Amino acid sequence: MAEIRIFSLARQLGLQSKALMAALAELGLEDVTPASAVDEDTARAAVELLAEQAQEARKAAQAAAEAQAEAAPQQQQKGEAAEAVAEEWEEEEYEPPVHPAELEAGLAELEQHLQRLRVEAQAEQADREAVKPLPELAARPQGPRPETAIEVPPVVTVLGHVDHGKTTLLDALRNTDVIATESGGITQHIGASEVAVDDKHIVFIDTPGHEAFTQMRARGAQVTDVAVLIVAADDGVMPQTVEAINHVKAAEVPLVVAINKIDLPEADIERIKQQLLDHELVPEEWGGDTIVVPVSALQREGLDELLEMLLLVAEVEELWADPEADMVAVVIESSLDESEGALATVLVRNGTLSVGDVVVCGTACGRVRRLRDWRGKSVKTMPPGHPVEVIGLSDVVEAGEIMQTAATLKEARQIAEQRQEQQREQKLAGGARRQLRHLYQELGTEEVKDLNIVLKADVWGSVEAMVSSLEQLNERLDEVDIEIVYTGVGELNESDVMMAVASDALILGFHVDATASVEQAAADEHIEIRTYDVIYEALNDIRKAMLGMLEPIYEERLVGEAQVLHLFSSSRVGVIAGCRITDGQLRRGSRMVVVRDSEQVFEGTLESLRHFDNDVASIDAPQECGVASSEFRDWQEGDIIRAYVQEEVPRTLE
Ligand code: GDP
């Protein structure tokens, strides 16, 4: 539902935020500031209430004026300035600013504005849906389980340091399947494979490494249900192991550790477990909740236990899909084949994919000519939960892209072309991801204020120093949430950029640089990279960005005081208070308090302010002026007027 901030709604209606806030308070919305946003129903209710109140005030004013005209009161001696003010008022039709007609016009305008907001929101949503895959679509189906639902296998990704045995493990697992062994092993794979354990299956993504894992996530597709972190028993936790751990943690995916190469004489399982502790992975046998399985991918030792543990972890999640639902699949891999054209391995997430289906996938489309299962066997259909290779797409597509079905090839082409066009436009427009300077501009537009950070430094010491400084900064404020989604040591790389895309973060680097290719990747993805050599400077920038993200605080300030010298009556206005400003300044539109014998007799808006012939916005002491408010007619000579304004107070973190 579209939302609008109180001050901008008030501005549209030609009202003070305070007046609108008073109406909102009557509707039960008390803890609001001019910067608070209200939904359109609330806005409409408040405007209607104000319209009613104005109508009543007008009726009362008319009645009072008529009564006054009948009584024909004696005119009092007038001061020169005040007299001129009164005459001036008589000359033209005086309209109180809060007029039902104005409010009605305002209401109509508001309606139009809200309609515009709705249209914009819909267009934005459509853009997002068209250009980027919807993470919700790629996610596991939610909500009540339909009768036609079936259980689906968990999806597992293997991550770890180079040479620790990811490929060997995947090969070994792929070939544990009886059928696979019978056919002499799977040699040609499609990018994903399945392993059967009794009557259950596990799907393995064959592209190992956290780069692929995060790339998928960056595209909005989080397909992994369980991650296997592989650590070589002879080598231990290495930089890429740490990176992998952080990527998995950021994705909030459950993790099983496989300590590999236990066949080697120098293998030291206990040492590896010890190292894992440094990264908050406490093995189960030591009282933690990290499952650790020693394996030898080469000797095929411990693989059954690993599979069993993967099923155990996945069981908690109750994975299901509906073969009858609309088909949604996620691209795992895509390539160009000389004879067959574009190939795409997809994971069918929901619904069923069949030969002959018309599909759209990112900016590509086509009719499915052939489907191949993970063993390379042609199939007619593929139910949800399984990987399948699709032949028939017009183009190669990116990993993480969503595939859906369309009614006709014509429709599919239209959608694909539309997306191509949007992509071009987006490229030209330069995208709009989180950037530090944008955070400041986002003030007043974003409700939730998160500042996600990917942090890289040359040494762990700097990372730790920065993390604790940022945490301290974060603790001082409730409104903004700094989240360090990832920390790492070493030069900035493309995987950091993907991580930033995946978590809508900006990248902070200390004593580290980005190569031209990394900078290019960041520019393509509209990710901001900020590098520093001094922690203080980085903190300062963040502090500034956070200040920009904070809701402004408004404080009321007394700006002027005046004394009522004479009263004038006017058939149109009612009563005019001719005053002398004794201190400061009176401002039209400010909050006005009228004090008589030390008691407050009125509080409302200073609606009209005149100085001789002129309608003025403000007048300074010691001049004379005329003051009127449609809300107050009971003036007396000697009354003191105090004018207050709401002022934005700059926020500081100190
Ligand atoms: P990746 O870079 O993580 O994919 O690692 P690879 O699977 O390519 O393995 C790197 C090297 O370690 C290869 O020479 C493998 O044969 C070897 N290797 C993998 N697993 C084992 C194992 O369990 N025991 C031994 N001794 N060597 C292994």
Q: Does the CB atom of residue 132 touch ligand 1 within 6 A?
A: no
Query: Counting atoms of ligand 1 from 1, which one is nearest the CA of 162?
Result: 2
Q: Does the CB atom of residue 301 touch ligand 1 within 6 A?
A: no
Q: Among the CATH numbers 3.40.50.2300, 2.60.120.460, 3.40.50.300, 3.40.50.1110, which is that of 150-321?
A: 3.40.50.300
Of 451 and 303, the one with more pLDDT: 303
Nearest CA to ligand 1 atom 22: 261
Query: Counting atoms of ligand 1 from 1, which one is nearest the CA of 161?
Result: 3
Give the pLDDT band (50/70/90) at residue 269: very high
Q: Does the CB atom of residue 163 touch ligand 1 within 6 A?
A: yes
Distance CA 141, CA 472 (A): 39
Among residues 196, 212, 199, which one has the least CA distance to residue 157? 212
Q: Does the CB atom of residue 168 touch ligand 1 within 6 A?
A: yes
Query: Counting atoms of ligand 1 from 1, which one is nearest the CA of 296?
Result: 23
Tell me which DSSP letter residue 286 carries: G
Give distance in angstroms: CA of 238 to centre of ligand 1.
15
The hierarchical CATH code for the domain 554-649 is 2.40.30.10
Taking residues 610-630, what's their average pLDDT?
88
Distance CA 479, CA 277 (A): 33
Give distance in angstroms: CA of 302 to centre of ligand 1.
15
Query: Counting atoms of ligand 1 from 1, which one is nearest the CA of 160?
Result: 3
Ligand 1 probe mutation, 162, 163, 229, 295, most atoms within 8 A of CB: 163
Give the pLDDT band (50/70/90) at residue 386: very high
Give distance in angstroms: CA of 217 to centre of ligand 1.
27
State residue 88's pLDDT score. Answer: 47
State residue 328's pLDDT score. Answer: 92
State residue 178's pLDDT score. Answer: 41
State residue 548's pLDDT score. Answer: 66
Phi, psi for 212 (deg, rounded to 5): -65, -40
Q: Does the CB atom of residue 161 touch ligand 1 within 6 A?
A: no
Q: Does the CB atom of residue 108 touch ligand 1 within 6 A?
A: no
Taking residues 314-325, what's their average pLDDT?
88
Q: What percent of the chain has pLDDT over 70?
A: 79
- Between CA 85 and CA 92, with CA 88 as vertex, the angle to 5 degrees is 140
* Token reading at 588: 């039209």
The CA distances from residue 527 to 217, 244, 362, 545, 644, in Å, are: 15, 21, 21, 16, 45
What's the pTM?
A: 0.58
Give distance in angstroms: CA of 529 to centre of ligand 1.
35
Taking residues 421-450, what's their average pLDDT?
55
Give distance in angstroms: CA of 167 to centre of ligand 1.
7
444, pLDDT greater than 70: no
Q: Does the CB atom of residue 165 touch ligand 1 within 6 A?
A: yes
CA 114 distance to own-chain centroid? 21
pLDDT tens, 125-153? 555 444 434 556 667 777 788 899 999 99
Q: Does the CB atom of residue 296 touch ligand 1 within 6 A?
A: yes
What are the structural domain ranges in the chain? 3-129, 150-321, 328-417, 445-549, 554-649
Nearest CA to ligand 1 atom 14: 163
Give distance in angstroms: CA of 207 to centre of ligand 1.
16
Nearest CA to ligand 1 atom 25: 261
1, pLDDT greater than 60: no
Give distance in angstroms: CA of 163 to centre of ligand 1.
6
296, pLDDT greater than 70: yes
E-strand ranges in 527-589 read: 529-532, 553-570, 574-587
> Same CATH fold, 445-549 and 328-417?
no
Give distance in angstroms: CA of 407 to centre of ligand 1.
47
Query: Counting atoms of ligand 1 from 1, which one is nearest the CA of 297?
Result: 23
Ligand 1 probe mutation, 298, 301, 303, 306, most atoms within 8 A of CB: 298
Give distance in angstroms: CA of 190 to centre of ligand 1.
21
Q: Does the CB atom of residue 260 touch ligand 1 within 6 A?
A: yes
Of 37 and 323, the one with more pLDDT: 323
Give distance in angstroms: CA of 298 to centre of ligand 1.
7
Give distance in angstroms: CA of 297 to centre of ligand 1.
7
Distance CA 311, CA 154 (A): 8
List residues bridging with 256 in a β-sheet: 228, 291
Q: Does the CB atom of residue 207 touch ligand 1 within 6 A?
A: no
Q: Does the CB atom of residue 234 touch ligand 1 within 6 A?
A: no
561, pLDDT greater than 60: yes
Query: With respect to CATH, is domain 445-549 assigned 3.40.50.10050?
Result: yes
- Residue whose pair of structure tokens reads 């009858």 in the numeric block: 324
Of 446 and 528, the one with more pLDDT: 528
Beta carbons of 485 and 453 less than 8 angstroms apart: yes
Query: Counting atoms of ligand 1 from 1, which one is nearest the CA of 299?
Result: 23
pLDDT tens, 578-598? 999 999 999 998 999 999 998
Query: Counting atoms of ligand 1 from 1, which one is nearest the CA of 168?
Result: 7
List residues bridging with 343 in a β-sheet: 335, 391
State residue 474's pLDDT score. Answer: 79
CATH class label, 328-417: mainly beta
Nearest CA to ligand 1 atom 2: 163
Q: Does the CB atom of residue 238 touch ligand 1 within 6 A?
A: no
* Token reading at 278: 């440094």
Q: Per mean pLDDT, which range of 116-125, 249-258, 476-485, 504-513 is the poorest?
A: 116-125
Give distance in angstroms: CA of 263 to centre of ligand 1.
11
What is the torsional sign of CA 595, 596, 597, 599? negative
Ligand 1 probe mutation, 159, 162, 168, most atoms within 8 A of CB: 168
Query: Counting atoms of ligand 1 from 1, which one is nearest the CA of 208?
Result: 4
Q: Does the CB atom of residue 224 touch ligand 1 within 6 A?
A: no
Distance CA 192, CA 202 (A): 10
Determine the 3-state secondary structure of 335 from DSSP: strand
Taking residues 548-570, what's their average pLDDT?
81
Give distance in angstroms: CA of 649 to centre of ligand 1.
62
Nearest CA to ligand 1 atom 24: 261
* Token reading at 562: 């005046």
Tell me the average pLDDT of the chain. 81
